[in-house]
Chains A and B, each alone.
Chain A
Amino acid sequence: MTGHQTLGPAAATALGQLNERLAAKPAAHLQVSGLSIHYSTLRGPFNAVDNVSFEVAAGTNLGLVGESGCGKSTVVKALMGLLPEMTRVTGQALLDGQNILGLSDADLQDVRWNRISLITQSAMNSLDPVYCIGDQICEAILAHEPVGKTVAWARAEQMFALVGLPAERLREFPHQFSGGMRQRAVIAMALALNAGMLLADEPTTALDPIMQSQIMSRIRGIHDHMRRSMILVTHDIAVVAETCETVVVMYAGKVAESGPTQDVLDRPLHPYTMGLQNAFPRLPVRGQPRKPLISIPGTVPNLLLPPAGCRFAGRCPFATNLCRSVAPPTYQIGAQSAACHYVERASQFRVAAAEPDTWRSMEPSR
């Protein structure tokens, strides 16, 4: 691998030991239950996440989907302990049995990057502009592993090779990188300590479509090879289909539907999931005509004053008075669960939801 030639024998041994130590880390198991998050804003508490529960089995991928503003990044930040100081977080997140919510900065130091690492949403601005990339990767390694700068740098070179970047570019600064390269650098950084859990918050949103699929397949490739656990946040349901074993659909801070990806995408129970499916291009199924893209009319409601009843009622073509006044409980059907009063009518809804007119008729209602 690149870089080895320049290492002295002692450093080469140290690098070998470091790599072994990191490779021995097991994939992590994460159990989130009853997670609620209130941001403190000037106009009062803002309930960005409400009673969210899900589980990531060790070595599997979970897709977290939903439109922008549904609270996906908030969940991710809560897991990393990155929310603003005044935020109220309740519930539990057990990482291999240890609750990581509400840890002090000192305690988080061991969790962060060592056990959970992060690929940020906007890699464009995620790198410190005044340090070269290599130093920023080394910073993470040096904070957790008892190795010298040379060894850390050699490890950074290996990570760069893994994401397909030449080692000499480690000396360059973020502004000298293109968007796609920066994203890859951030991925390299996230892999540097081989953390058991990887959080990828919309890793490709800021990129052009070609770059998006390149980066996604790289993530998938690395992932298959390293067998980590991952939460992949995206609003593109098609990406989830290719990458994740389980999926959690969030709407306005709540879980609308969750379950095995195959089941959820084949037989969605929640009208919001059906809407999302219409809104993204799907892989064409042979023998069937290409479906038109239909976007869900309306926007996510203001959570300073969350609506009574179902949060999706304002945009749901099947909403009734019951929906508007009583919040739906979560129904379990097989391995799948959904928060909708009418889960038993889901098959009817699916047929109707495939018709663009069903959604169009919603529009004049505001």
Chain B
Amino acid sequence: MRAYILRRLAQSVLVVWAVTTIMFFMFRVMPADPTAILLERGLSDEARLALMEEWGLTGSLWDQYVAYLGNIAQGDFGNSFFYRKPVWDVLFPLIVNTLWIAIPGLLMGAALGAAIGTAVGWAPRGGKLERSGIFLATVIRGVPNFVIGIALLTVFSSTLGWFPGFGMGDPGATTGFARYFTLDFLHHLALPLIAVTIYFLPENLLLMRSGVVENRTEDYIELVRAKGVPQRRVAWHAARNSMLPLITWLFPALAETIAGIVVIEIVFSWPGVGRELVLAVTRQDYPLAQAAFFLLAVMIVLANLAADLAYGKLDPRVVYK
């Protein structure tokens, strides 16, 4: 078990290293003039040289790469051009905001999807409930997340005025950590959260439905039925077994949520990491963009790591090697 965790950790570090290398090439080699991209415009020559020195942009590509890795290892991603302060000062507060919609949204989507998916999977094959459940879920799965966002925004915010559709709090609202526990915050949270939930629900539903359909013909389900327990209890056995693949899916999905949530953050002007990435890219604030991308990649690696460890907890058959 310990050995397994250590090996998985080492693997994760390796992946992070690979991602940073890809980033190095993306930001420095792909654009025609890397200095143009990495340095602010309109600097005097001395200032420019000083900055290049600081950024490790002098010397051969190899020297640059080593300097770059060194900086990253120390967590130094430089200063944001736009905000004129260290990128981490900009990004750290945003991580919480992203997680606030990513994790509850994903969990709600998973829970609702699993519940409905069990009902659909347990329904008679070829019946009304099964067919309409599959059809609706497949169609809703095809709705792009920004369309979900736009629809929610137009209906519940602009037209009905039930929920605010912009940002995390009204002007003059509580700031700091305490803000997350105000009614105002929850009011703002509602729509983006619903958007993420709807986005994840159908995929969960279909996954759970396949699992239940696969499991319901298994021998062990027959024995559970033979025991004369209530039908709900029998369905529960099938659902419980179908949850294993759902869990393996959930963590990479969390990773994808954190990544794909970009669009929902933009629609609802939710100040998260993804929105900041898009803003940074459009403002050509490359240090910030680089750090935001790195942050998202690390979140994904961690989510995958968590998935592997959680699976073993849920499936007694898994032995860590």
Q: A residues engaging B (CB < 8 A)?
A: 77, 80-82, 85, 105, 108-114, 117-118, 120-122, 125-132, 139-140, 143-144, 173, 175, 186, 189
Contact = CB atoms under 8 A, between A and B. Distances in A.
Given A105-B231, A130-B241, A143-B229, A85 B124 contact: yes
B321 to A, nearest CB: 15
B286 to A, nearest CB: 49
B220 A118 contact: no
B317 interface: yes
B241 A117 contact: no
B317 A82 contact: no
A132 B316 CA distance: 9
A144 B230 CA distance: 10
B226 A125 contact: no
Interface of B: 124, 218-220, 222-231, 233, 237, 240-241, 244, 314-317
A114 B223 contact: no
A144 B228 contact: yes
Contacts of A109: 228-230
B227 A175 contact: no
Nearest to A85: B124
Contacts of A80: 225-226
Contacts of A117: 226
B316 A125 contact: no
Contacts of B220: 125-129
B228 A112 contact: yes
Nearest to B227: A140
Nearest to A141: B227
A129 B226 contact: no
Contact of B227 (A105, A129, A139): A139
A61 to B, nearest CB: 20
Contacts of B227: 112-113, 139-140, 143, 189
B237 A110 contact: no
Nearest to B230: A109
A186 B220 CA distance: 11
Contacts of B244: 130
B219 A114 contact: no
B241 A114 contact: no
B222 A126 contact: yes
A129 B230 CA distance: 20
A125 B225 CA distance: 14
B229 A120 contact: no
A128 B237 contact: yes
